[in-house]
Amino acid sequence: MGRKKIIAGNWKMNMTPSEAVKLAETLKPLVNNEKADVVFGVPAIDIVPVAEAVRGTNIELAAQNMYFEEKGAYTGEISPLMLADAGVRYVILGHSERREYFKETNADINKKVLCALAHGLTPIMCCGESLEQREMGVTMDFIRQQIKEGLCEVTAEQAKGMVIAYEPIWAIGTGKTATSEQAEEVCRAIRECICEIYDADTAEAIRIQYGGSVNAGNAAELFAMPDIDGGLVGGASLKEDFGKIVFSA
Ligand code: 13P
């Protein structure tokens, strides 16, 4: 079990550039945990100033989205070349908010995953069921499809370095966290799905995060589960509490 925990904040559409730098400065001394990889997922416009603010620390940056072409006539989009050149290491792809509000499909997300990997960026690929799907008992069917289609043509070697974030939609921003047993059950099933697509080595290597109302009070219990390799944290990543979450790993 050599997987290092990865604790990522998803700042979503919060923090102007000057606010982002202030928050990064505040959090910097609070998240210096060598036992975990620590990631700030900041809005695109905040990447450059935050990269400057966290230079020389253990903090890595994630973008929250990316287009699947290197450059060209795609008004409003951000390319992997831009992210890599700005010092970004990770890119959150397929967040449920992007699937819902911006109609991203598994096929779109797959193109982005392949393109990110081709440019040396590590995808944090999100999946997760709605409350309705959970109540209908189709959670794992739905998530398997998200994973299989999202990872289409990704090699085992590439998959080993990736991160998957399991984020049940009913737990996002609701204060209603999945219990550690519920989260572990799905994260384990995701690992089994990776084993079916690839092999046991790949399943053992890939990191799977839980996201959805993670806070300083519930993080330790969630991160202690055998198949949960850290968290993707929304609201609580904008507060000093994020330091406590990082040290729960
Ligand atoms: P909250 O932690 O605010 O529930 O958000 C979770 C999330 O969507 C992280 O990507």
Domains defined for the chain, CATH in brackets: 5-248 (3.20.20.70)
Note if 129 is an active site residue: no
Question: Ligand 1: which atom is nearest the Cα of residue 236?
Answer: 2
Q: Give the per-residue pLDDT at 128.
A: 98
Query: Model pTM?
Result: 0.98
The protein residue with its alpha carbon nearest to ligand 1, atom 9, reads 234
Pocket of ligand 1 (CB under 6 A): 10, 95, 167, 172-173, 211-214, 232-236
Q: Give the per-residue pLDDT at 2.
A: 87
Note if 100 is an active site residue: no
- Nearby residues of 14 by Cβ (< 8 Å), 6 or more positions away: 43, 238
Q: Give the per-residue pLDDT at 175.
A: 85
Alpha-carbon distance values, 184 to 11, 13, 187, 210, 227 (Å): 24, 28, 5, 9, 6
Q: Which of 95, 97, 104, 184 is catalytic?
A: 95
Residues with pLDDT less than 70, the chain: 1
Q: Which of 60, 104, 129, 167 is catalytic?
A: 167
Which pLDDT tens digit goes with each residue over 156-174?
Answer: 999 999 999 999 999 999 9
Cα-atom radius of gyration of the chain, to the nearest Å? 17
Q: How far is the CA of 91 from the centre of ligand 1 (A)?
A: 15
Q: How far is the CA of 233 from the centre of ligand 1 (A)?
A: 5
3-state secondary structure at position 13: coil
Question: Ligand 1: which atom is nearest the Cα of residue 214?
Answer: 2
Q: How far is the CA of 203 from the centre of ligand 1 (A)?
A: 24
Q: What percent helix, strand, coil does the chain show, rounded to 5?
A: 45, 15, 40
Is the dihedral angle over the CA atoms 225, 227, 228, 229 positive or is it negative?
positive
Q: How far is the CA of 72 from the centre of ligand 1 (A)?
A: 32
Written as one string, the DSSP assignment of 104-172 is --HHHHHHHHHHHHHTT-EEEEEE---HHHHHHT-HHHHHHHHHHHHTTT--HHHHHT-EEEE--GGGT
